[in-house]
Amino acid sequence: MRVQVSLFGAFRSFDPGAQVLLDLPDGARVADLRQALEQYGSTHWQDFNPALLRRSAFASETTVLREADVLPADGRMAVLPPVSGG
Amino acid sequence: MRVQVSLFGAFRSFDPGAQVLLDLPDGARVADLRQALEQYGSTHWQDFNPALLRRSAFASETTVLREADVLPADGRMAVLPPVSGG
Amino acid sequence: MDRHHCAVVDIVEGPLDPAAALDFVSDPGFGGITLFVGRVRDLNHGRVVTGVSYDMFVPLALNGFREIAARADGDFGPKLKLYIAHAKGRLAVGDLAVVVAAGTPHRDEAFRACRQVIEAVKHTSPIWKQEHYEDGDSVWSEGCSLCGDEHGHAGH
Amino acid sequence: MDRHHCAVVDIVEGPLDPAAALDFVSDPGFGGITLFVGRVRDLNHGRVVTGVSYDMFVPLALNGFREIAARADGDFGPKLKLYIAHAKGRLAVGDLAVVVAAGTPHRDEAFRACRQVIEAVKHTSPIWKQEHYEDGDSVWSEGCSLCGDEHGHAGH
C-alpha cells in the first residue's frame, strides 16, 4: 500500500510539500511505518533527528494510533512530533 | 463618647437612615458596643434577630475590629452581618 | 499599586467590563491571563430570582480588595497584575456582579491567583446580597461571618 | 454539541475573541464563568521573542478539542458550556494564541473545567509552536510526546 505521511512541526521543513510517500506491505502497522520513515529520513533528510522521531506519534485525521494498530486503508497518516500548543 | 453605627445588609432596614447613635463610656471596646447594640435592637427593632448580631462583626472604615479592641476616637463604626459578596 | 486595580462600580454608572479587566492585566511578558466573572443567576435554592441588590461598606471593601491583592502579590508576584471590581446596587439576572482578572508570565500562577482572589473577595469583603424573587419577596443571603476568623468559612 | 464551541482560527482571519467566548458560555442559570487567555510572550528561556508560528493538524486538533470538551462535560456537566479556540499561523508578541472559557452554575466547576481543558489542549493537541527570535533564528519548541500516554508529561 502507498502511505502518504503528512509532516508537522519540526518535520515540516524536511519536504517542500510537507509530505512523504512511502510504500508499505498491505496490513502494515504503525510500527512498520515508523521504521520506514526512519529509514527514509536517514537517507533523504540532512538534519534528520532519529531521537525526535522516536518521541513522535502517528495519527489519522481522527485519532492518534498505537504502534500495533494497522494503518488505515486510505493510507493517509501524519507524523506528530511532541506537541507545544497554547 | 457618642458612637455612630452604620447598618448594612439585613440591619439596614431597621433604621431609615441606616445608622444608630449610641452613648458609651470613653474607652469602650467592641464588646461593649456589641452589648449596647443588642440592647438597643431588642427595644427598638421589631424583627431584631440577636443570633444574627452574634454572628456579626464590627469595623471602622479601614479594618474589622476584634472584641477587645478599643473603639476609634471618632466613634464611627459599622456593624457587619455575615457577608455574601460575589 | 499600579499593577493592582481595585474598584466598586455602581450599576447606575454602567456594567462591569471584562474587556477592560483583560486589558489591565495584559503585559508583553505575560503568557497567561485568567478571568473570573460572577453573574446574577435566575435560580437560587430552587427559587426564581428576578434580581439582586448588593449593599456594600465601600471604603472598607476597597481597603480589603487592596489587602487581598497585596497578599496575592506576595504569593504569586512580583510581576502579578490584578483587577478586582465588584458591582453595587440593584442588578438584574445576567448582570455582572464581580470581575477578577490575573495576569502572570505562566498560566499556573494566573489560575491560582485568580481563584485565591475571588475566594477572598467572597468570604471577607463587606458586601451583602439581597435576592429578589418573582413573588415579590426579598431575602438577605446567608453569608460568611467575619467574627474571629477573618477568612470566614468556606461554605458559600 | 451546541454547548461546546471548538474552533481553529487562522490569524489572517482575525484575532481570537475573548468577548465572544464569554458570550458563548453565558447562561441565565450560570453564576460562574472562568476564562483563560494564552498570549505570545516577549521572552522565553531568556531569549527575546519577536513572534510565534503555530503549525497544526487541524482535523485531528478539532476532533481532540471535541473529545476534551466531552470529557469535561462528563466531569463537570451536564450543564457546562465550553469555548475552545486556538490560533494558527504567524502571531506577534501579545497576540492571543488560545482562549478557553467555561460557564457553570457555580464557580468551582467553572475554574476546574477551564483548567482541565487548557491543560488537555496544551498537552494533547496536535499543535506545534515555532518561536522566532530577534536575531533571526527560529526554534520549534520542545513539547509533550503523544507516544503511549496520550496525556503526555506535565512539564510544559
Chain D contact present for C32, CB below 8 A: yes
Q: Is residue A86 part of a domain?
A: no
Nearest residue, CB atoms, D129 vs list A55, A62, A84? A84
Quote ipTM for the complex.
0.94
Q: Do B9 and C60 touch (CB under 8 A)?
A: no
Q: Is residue A66 part of a domain?
A: yes
Is A35 among the domain residues?
yes
pLDDT band at C148 (very low <50, low <70, confident <90, very high): confident
Which of B12, B86, B70, B2 is CA-nearest to residue B45? B12
Of the candidates D26, D43, D114, the beta carbon closest to that of C29 is on: D43
Which grid coordinates are listed for B57?
462583626
Q: What is the pLDDT of residues D73-99, one digit of tens each?
A: 999 989 999 999 999 999 999 999 999
- Which residues constitute the domain of residue B16? 2-80
**Domain architecture of chain C: domains with CATH:** 4-142 (3.90.1170.40)
Q: Over its length of 86 residues, how does chain A's per-residue pLDDT go in tens digits?
A: 999 999 999 999 899 899 999 999 999 999 999 999 999 999 999 999 999 999 999 999 999 999 999 999 999 999 999 999 99
Q: Which residue has the cell 500562577?
A: C109
CATH number of the CATH domain containing B15: 3.10.20.30
Q: Neighbours of B (≥3 Cβ pairs closer than 8 A)?
A: C
Distance of residue B64 Cα from the nearest chain C Cα, in angstroms: 8
pLDDT tens sequence across D31-49: 999 999 999 999 998 999 9
Tell me whether residue A15 is in a domain. Answer: yes
pTM summary value: 0.94
For residue B30, being part of any structural domain is answered with yes
User: How many CB pairs below 8 A link C and D?
Assistant: 87
Q: Tell me if A12 is assigned to some domain.
A: yes
Residue C105 burial (10 A CB sphere; 0-12, 13-18, 19+): middle
Summary mean pLDDT of chain D: 94
Q: C147 CB near a chain D CB, below 8 Å?
A: no
Average pLDDT over residues C15-28: 98
Where are the strands (E) in chain D, listed by range? 4-10, 32-39, 43-44, 47-56, 81-92, 96-104, 127-133, 138-140
Tell me whether residue B36 is in a domain.
Answer: yes
Residue B63 lies in a domain: yes
A52 touches chain D (CB under 8 A): no
Predicted confidence (pLDDT) at residue D151 exceeds the cutoff of 70: no
Measured between CA atoms, the residue of chain D closest to residue C26 is D94
- In chain A, how many domains are there? 1
Locus of grid cell 469595623? B59
Taking an 8 Å cut-off on Cβ atoms, the answer to whether D147 and A86 are in contact is no
